[in-house]
A = this chain, B = another copy of it.
Amino acid sequence: MRTRDECVAADQADVLAPLKAQFSLPPGVLYLDGNSLGAKPRAADARAQAVVGEQWGQGLIRSWNSAGWFDLPARLGAKLAPLLGVPGQEVVVTDSTSLNLFKVLAAALRLQGSRRVIVSERDNFPTDLYMIEGMMDFLDRGYELRLIDEQLSLADALDDRVAAVVLSHVNYRSGAMYDMAAVSAQAHAHGALIIWDLAHAAGAVPLALAADGADFAVGCTYKYLNGGPGSPAFLWVAPRHQNAFWQPLSGWWSHKRPFAMSDRYEPAEGIRRYLCGTQPITSLALVECGLDIAAQADMAEVRRKSLALGDLFIELVRTRCAAHPLTLITPQAHVRRGSHVSFRHPEGYAVMQALIARGVIGDYREPEVLRFGLTPLYLGYADVWDAVEILREVLDTRAWDQPAFRERAAVT
């Protein structure tokens, strides 16, 4: 696509284009940040009204049964499961990604007995590293966190002391994607278990957790799954591990008979064992609106379009912003790329603020990284064209070179 007209034509031929009408996006905005907070499904307003106005306001306590509140984690898990490539009864939507990582890491360490090394990646999303550190510090049992980076490859990090490998399938900053099957097999070859964080993958790339040999997976629903701000996360455990141990955040929702009010803990069978306490129902219920849209899309088509949008974005930046110091940090190879593309720019923070001021919403990540999420459900080729044109204008005119755009907000 060399012209805007060609992009418009591609949008007209796009089988996913009609889904955009199911989202509400503000006028004048090109939203390239669905990898941080997904756009709002139009159905979410009515759903919020139903949960707050009717289920809470009118149903009151009765809604735990009549509105199915108690079953929401499992019911939403079953809707999400096809996107992860696993059976419906193996997934729950609950708590946060950080907490779910704690649960599955605890389970993995217990399964692994005396192995004392956890492998992760220096460039992993920090909360994953912090949760690992928190657990190691709490257990105080000689665990070691080994971080792969430019100096240490995964192959070199793996040995028979490694209990678990914790990796993000798609890197939050660069958009680089691992080969799940190959890396899972590599971990297993050393007797290590593999935990995948799917925050930047679920809903954006086709997943086959079972076929690819994953042991555990967690991830969030507020990015490509469009579940709403901070909506509860998900958790999957391979059936072979589900009942093998008892995760330590063993609140009453994970009890075999939660309403028997027994004074002794007895874990539920299956994935319900990974629940903990009472869930934030309003936020949780809204997750369904996003899942209902995702269910209408063919994931192979989503992936094809995501890569096409990414190719277009990269090519347009290369050709139309060539005069500016933008460095692509996202792999160009399709098998190595998720659904966002990132560039470094020495004035990255200010450039992003100038873009946002012009309605092109991406985000900024330390250090110097401009990050653009490409969300096939509501973004088109002409949108990408227009966004790059505005980027070009911001750079050509040095529109970013203002004190107001350099001033850091609390949340970047």
Contact = CB atoms under 8 A, between A and B. Distances in A.
B55 A49 contact: no
Nearest to A129: B263
Contacts of A173: 261
B60 A26 contact: yes
Contact of A261 (B63, B95, B126): B126
A57 B45 CA distance: 9
A283 interface: yes
Contacts of A24: 57
A31 interface: yes
Contacts of A230: 69, 278-282, 284
A244 interface: no
Contact of A283 (B36, B222, B281, B361): B281
Q: How many copies of this chain does the complex contain?
A: 2
A130 B64 contact: no
A256 to B, nearest CB: 11
Nearest to A121: B263
Give the interface centre of A95, A173, A251 by most chain B CB atoms within 10 Å. Answer: A251
Nearest to A96: B277
A52 B61 contact: no
Nearest to A26: B58
A97 interface: yes
Given A52-B286, A64-B411, A265 B133 contact: yes
B64 A96 contact: no
Interface residues of A, number: 98
Contacts of A262: 126
A130 B24 CA distance: 43
A63 to B, nearest CB: 7
Interface in A8-67: 24, 26, 29, 31, 33, 36-37, 39-40, 44-45, 48-49, 51-53, 55-58, 60-65
Given A26-B58, A45-B52, A45-B53, 9 more contacts: A37-B64, A39-B60, A64-B411, A95-B99, A96-B279, A97-B277, A99-B99, A106-B138, A230-B280
Interface of A: 24, 26, 29, 31, 33, 36-37, 39-40, 44-45, 48-49, 51-53, 55-58, 60-65, 69-71, 95-99, 102, 106, 110, 122-127, 129-131, 133-135, 137-139, 147, 173, 220, 222, 228-233, 246-252, 254-255, 258-265, 276-284, 286, 356, 361, 363, 365-366, 409-412
